[in-house]
Amino acid sequence: MRIKDILFSEQPPANASIRGWVRTKRDAKGFAFLEVNDGSCLKNLQVILEESLAGFETLKNINTGASVMIEGNLVESPGKGQKWELRATSITLIGEADAETFPLQKKRHSDEFLRTIAHLRPRTNKFGAMFRIRSESAFAVHQFFHEGGFYYVHTPIITGSDCEGAGQMFRVTTLPTAFVPPQGEAAFEQDFFGKEASLTVSGQLEAEAYACSLGRVYTFGPTFRAENSNTPRHAAEFWMIEPEVAFADLTDNMVLAETMVKFMTAHIMENCADDLELFAKFVDETLMSRLNNLVNSDFARLPYQDAIDILKASGKTFEFPVDFGTDLQTEHERYLCETHFKKPVIVYDYPKTIKPFYMRLNDDNRTVRAMDVLVPGVGELIGGSQREERLDILQQRMADVKMDTAPYWWYFDLRRFGSVPHSGFGMGFERFLMMITGVSNIRDVIPFARTPKNLEF
């Protein structure tokens, strides 16, 4: 049986067999106690072993970290903290863990240390909780969109176009390291695809094609960015949720983003209460009030120009000065939602100069129909926009920023044949997990983090 099914049962069966890893062992007179965890939930099952038990002598080889199988009788626990405990009738040591060298002894370890043993950290309470929440959050994404009539599209991982136009792409090649192309020939002509290939930074452009066919779609997959910024909020490989909706304008897009974030937050509060409580206790004391506030408040909405005015009038000295045309930095984003509005904020109509080519140009000719959702504790959670559906304006914009338009012929076709207004956004899945747990470093919300100069595991 899984420990979760035992501990959360009103009346479990009289006998059970469990398998898991020993968290602690305590010896008493005539007895031993084991705390066993099988990963199914935060709580351990307490196991009592009497000295008379066959195989009791193997206990001397059973230390923290060992894997065991135990059969026994489930009885009501007289002790505090658990409803049921297991009186062992047999115990089998499956895999030993050496007490001298097993790195996860019963004490508090720093996040930095645990990152160096990312293969073992899910065996701690904190990271077990984190990755159960991560799994449940992914499920919530699919449930939300499924219930909303969206179709799930698998957009490609290897791509020939740069969606964000920011040149932060990882190259994909099969050419040998020292390959020198024949005279006058570009290297990629000899390459696997016969042209330059990269890992995708976003599934948006392909999602647009499917929104302009199936109506409402979303992608949810890994994305890759070679931004060389070693920050607590950026990873080179992260997961992104990208809905795309035909016939939707920027306001519809804001409503969708707000509804999705609230749905996912409420889902985790309801379905991962135990795991979430750990973060509220040990990581961020304000977590539950922040999440309740998020679920129950209307997100503030304001144009970029107003955000700039608020920041300028704040009297605060920021590391990065603000003025129309500057990108909002994390310090600005956090000031807006943590200090000024004290709730999530949607900033829209950004200057076109700081946003990608595909965003719909406003009539003022200097701002675009962009929106970012900023949340307390994290800053930018979501980036999205209404897309430019007018072919001539799109092409002009790309020419202005000197893009090579050849790879985008199919993207233009979407504007040539039955073009429609449409909108979408991308939510960083790890940013969401940081928000929902209060964990401040992206390396601690993804199983095996990929960051500059770090490719262990």
| Segment near ligand 4AD (CB under 6 A); pick from 105-113, 347-355, 378-386, 412-420 | 378-386
For 428, counting Cβ atoms within 10 Å of its Cβ (0-12 exposed, 13-18 middle, 19+ buried), the class is: buried
Between 217 and 382, name the residue whose CB sits nearer to Mg ion.
Answer: 382
450 binds ligand 4AD (CB under 6 A): no
**Least Cβ distance, residue 426 to Mg ion (angstroms):** 8
For the window 52-71, what string marks contact with ligand 4AD as x by the rule CB under 6 A?
--------------------
Q: Are 372 and 327 in contact (CB under 8 A)?
A: no
- The residues in 225-264 that bind ligand 4AD, with binding defined as CB under 6 A, are 225, 227, 234-235, 238, 240, 242
388 binds ligand 4AD (CB under 6 A): no
**Least Cβ distance, residue 403 to ligand 4AD (angstroms):** 15
Beta 151-152 vs 67-76: how paired, if at all?
Answer: unpaired
Counting residues that bind Mg ion (by CB under 5 A) gives 1
Q: Which of 344, 379, 383, 384 binds Mg ion (CB under 5 A)?
A: 383
**Least Cβ distance, residue 202 to ligand 4AD (angstroms):** 4
Q: Which does 331 bind (CB under 5 to 8 A by kind): Mg ion, ligand 4AD, none?
A: none
Between 7 and 235, name the residue whose CB sits nearer to ligand 4AD.
Answer: 235
Between 267 and 387, name the residue whose CB sits nearer to Mg ion.
Answer: 387
376 binds ligand 4AD (CB under 6 A): no
| Position with the least CB separation from Mg ion | 383
Q: Are 146 and 153 in contact (CB under 8 A)?
A: no
Q: Which of 91, 163, 346, 435 binds ligand 4AD (CB under 6 A)?
A: 163
**Least Cβ distance, residue 171 to ligand 4AD (angstroms):** 17
Between 18 and 427, name the residue whose CB sits nearer to ligand 4AD.
Answer: 427
- The residues in 405-444 that bind ligand 4AD, with binding defined as CB under 6 A, are 424-428, 430-431, 442
- Inter-CA distances, 340 with 307, 373, 377, Å: 10, 15, 13
Between 23 and 431, name the residue whose CB sits nearer to Mg ion.
Answer: 431
Count other C-beta atoms under 10 Å from residue 353's C-beta: 14
Q: Which does 428 bind (CB under 5 to 8 A by kind): Mg ion, ligand 4AD, none?
A: ligand 4AD
Q: Are 442 and 233 in contact (CB under 8 A)?
A: yes
- The residues in 168-207 that bind ligand 4AD, with binding defined as CB under 6 A, are 202, 204
CA distance 159 to 167: 13
**Least Cβ distance, residue 202 to Mg ion (angstroms):** 10
Handedness of CA 130, 132, 138, 143 (dihedral sign): negative
CA distance 342 to 205: 34
Can you give the binding site for Mg ion, defined by CB under 5 A?
383
Can you give the binding site for ligand 4AD, defined by CB under 6 A?
163-164, 202, 204, 225, 227, 234-235, 238, 240, 242, 380-384, 424-428, 430-431, 442
